[in-house]
Each structure stands twice: as C-alpha cells, then as structure tokens.
Amino acid sequence: MLDTVVGKLEGWLRTAIALLPNLALAILCMVITYFAAKFINKYSKKYLIKWHTNPTIAGFLARIFFTLVFFLGITLALSVLDLDRTVASMLAGLGIIGLALGFAFQDTAANLMSGIYITFNHPFRVGDVIKSNSGHDGKVIDINLRVTKIKTWDGPIVYIPNRMLVEEEFVNFTENGMRRVRIDCGVSYGDDLEKVEKVAIAAMQALPSRIQSEEVTLHWKEFGESSINFSVNIWLTYNREELKFVSVKNEAIKALKKAFDEQDIMIPFPIRTLDFGIKGGEKLVEVIENTDFSKFDKNGTDKKENLSPAERK
C-alpha cells in the first residue's frame, strides 16, 4: 500500500513539474486579460458617456466588456492547460443557465435590450417631449436600463417600460424643432367670411412668438349649428430649451378675440330656435299673440275648470 501511495504521489509530482511552464503561461494569460479587462471597463465607460450615452447604460455596457474579456482570458488559460473539455462544459453550462434566465426574466431582458437600443439609436433623448401609445405625455427626465421616466405636465413622474417605447408607436414633439399651434373658432352666419379671414390672419401674423418665416394658414371647416367654423394655424419654435406651446396658444386666442371685437366680428354662442306645433308651423311669438290669457288664473289654470257644468255652458 505504501509503495502504491508513494508511486501515485511521484506521478502527480512529475505531472505537476511537466505542467509548470503551461501553468505559468495560463496564470500570465489570466493576469494580462484581467488588467486588459479593467482598462477596457474604465475607458469604454468614459467614452460612452462622452458620446452622450446614459451613464447607467454606459456602466452596464462597460461591465459587459469587462466580463467578456476576462472570460476570454479564463478560456485561454484552460486551453493552455489542455482542459478543453472543461471549457466545453463551462460553455454548455452557461448556455443552459442563460436559456433558463431568458425564460424567467424575458420581460426584464426585453426592457434591457430596448434600453440599449434607445441609447444608441436615440429615437428620443433626455429633455424631449414625447407622448406614449398609452396616452402619457411629458418631458423625458431619465432613460435607464429598464424604464424611461417622463415628468407629466401635471407634475407626477410616469415610469414607462422601455420595450413599450420600442415595440409600440410614440410621438416625439421636439425632434423636429418646431410645432404647429391650431386655434379653432367660429363666426356668425351674418359676417363677411373674406373679412374674417383677413382679420384673423393679420392678428396671427402680429404675434412675436411665432416663426416669422412660416406662413399663417386658415381653413374653413364646416357650417355649424350656430356658426361657420374655421381653424387658423401658426408655427413656433419647440425644442428642449423652448417649450412655449401653451403660452403661445393663450396669446393667439386673446389676439384673435381682440381683433374680432375691434372689427365687430361676432363669435356666437349656441343659439336654439323653438318651434311649436307638431309640424313646426307656429312660432312662439304667434302663439303668444293668439293666446287669450284672461282665460287663466294666476296659477296658469283654465278658469273654466273651477266652474260647475252649468256655469261652463
């Protein structure tokens, strides 16, 4: 037994001595790749942030680069030690683990990949005003790996999963740098429409906040119940620094009302005409003129109802 144990130990010792050069080379590979991974982690994060990438996503991508480079070093070290089967087993194990995690966290993974897509393709950026398919609109204040934060105009913060902004449509109001303001209004049937058109366009052209190079347009829409309706349109600068949509619309409405008042153009309120009679043949004035109110008492009751049958005759 002792001879067997000694023989085994001697065999292991000879194998270890034979593997010393390969072991040293494997350790050297791991050390080099470790420092290379740290270097890549540091500078990739720095340059990703410099390229206007979100700091959270930049840190995540830098960590992925570090892991890939270091894993490459481990693979090279095992190959130097002739442990190719171990490498294959590790890769198979990682594949199975990745598949299981993919099924378990598919929504999280989808949000993660969507966050990376948003970061590199820039369909919107921090500071843009967007409106999601679910109806939430406001200013983007943060884009991280899982959600995009939108500050609504009423104040609350809405967290929208990134995959919803990639898979579904959304509106970006600031990407174009300009936005149209539409004012809907109506004038009475008795007004001159050409005069209305000239007055409305002149009032909008006088607004200092509009883009002067863009034409003011007016479109007649319909014959309404009590007015002829139109819309007048102006354009204003609309970007991350200048978001004056509501204030410009207020100015436009006041300017239009003032101009119409000065030119004696009426913006009518709803008008109702009452017709009496089954076939609409009598007007209220005619009904009043043809009614003998002496037949009724102060309560509006026919006086004959208070008489006996003999008195009625």
Find out whether 160 and 132 touch, Cβ atoms under 8 Å: yes
Directed axis angle between helix 55-80 and helix 106-121, to 10°?
110
Mean pLDDT of 237-252: 89
- Residue 170 banded pLDDT, cuts 50, 70, 90: very high
CATH topology of domain 125-172: SH3 type barrels. (2.30.30)
Low-confidence winner among 3-17, 179-193, 273-287 (lowest mean pLDDT) = 273-287
> Could you give the CA distance from residue 282 to residue 173 in angstroms, rounded to a whole number?
55
Question: 13: how many CB neighbours lie within 10 A of its CB?
Answer: 10
What residue type is assigned to position 291 of the chain? T
Question: Where do the domains of the chain lie?
Answer: 2-104, 125-172, 178-262, 275-312
Match 């006996």 to its residue by tokens: 308
The residue with greater pLDDT, 182 or 294, is: 182
Q: What is the mean pLDDT of the chain?
A: 80
Q: Residue 206: what pLDDT?
A: 93
Match 């967007």 to its residue by tokens: 130
Mean pLDDT of 137-144: 89
> Could you give the CA distance from residue 179 to residue 164 in angstroms, rounded to a whole number?
25
Burial level of 140, CB count in 10 A (0-12/13-18/19+)?
buried
- CATH code: domain 178-262 is 3.30.70.100
Would the CA dihedral through 85, 86, 87, 92 be positive or negative? positive
Would the CA dihedral through 28, 32, 38, 41 be positive or negative? negative
The structure tokens listed for 183 are 């004012």
Please determine, for residue 31, whether its predicted confidence score (pLDDT) is greater than 70. yes
Question: 53: how many CB neighbours lie within 10 A of its CB?
Answer: 20
The residue with greater pLDDT, 180 or 57, is: 180
Q: From start to end of 97-136, where are the E strands?
A: 129-131
- CATH code: domain 2-104 is 1.10.287
Question: 143: how many CB neighbours lie within 10 A of its CB?
Answer: 22
Please determine, for residue 180, whether its predicted confidence score (pLDDT) is greater than 70. yes
The structure tokens listed for 211 are 């883009």
Directed axis angle between helix 245-262 and helix 193-205, to 10°?
140
- % pLDDT > 90, the chain: 32
Q: Residue 287: what pLDDT?
A: 64
Please determine, for residue 307, whether its predicted confidence score (pLDDT) is greater than 70. no
The structure tokens listed for 228 are 């002829």
What residue type is assigned to position 57 of the chain? I
Please determine, for residue 163, whether its predicted confidence score (pLDDT) is greater than 80. yes
Give Cβ neighbours of residue 147 (< 8 Å, ≥ 6 apart). Answer: 111, 159, 160, 161, 162
The CA R_g of the chain, rounded to the nearest whole Å, is 40
Please determine, for residue 137, whether its predicted confidence score (pLDDT) is greater than 60. yes
Would the CA dihedral through 62, 63, 69, 73 be positive or negative? positive
Q: Residue 109: what pLDDT?
A: 76
Low-confidence winner among 19-28, 119-128, 178-187, 287-296 (lowest mean pLDDT) = 287-296
Low-confidence winner among 172-186, 258-272, 287-301 (lowest mean pLDDT) = 287-301
- Residue 236 banded pLDDT, cuts 50, 70, 90: very high
The residue with greater pLDDT, 228 or 20, is: 228
Please determine, for residue 84, whether its predicted confidence score (pLDDT) is greater than 80. no
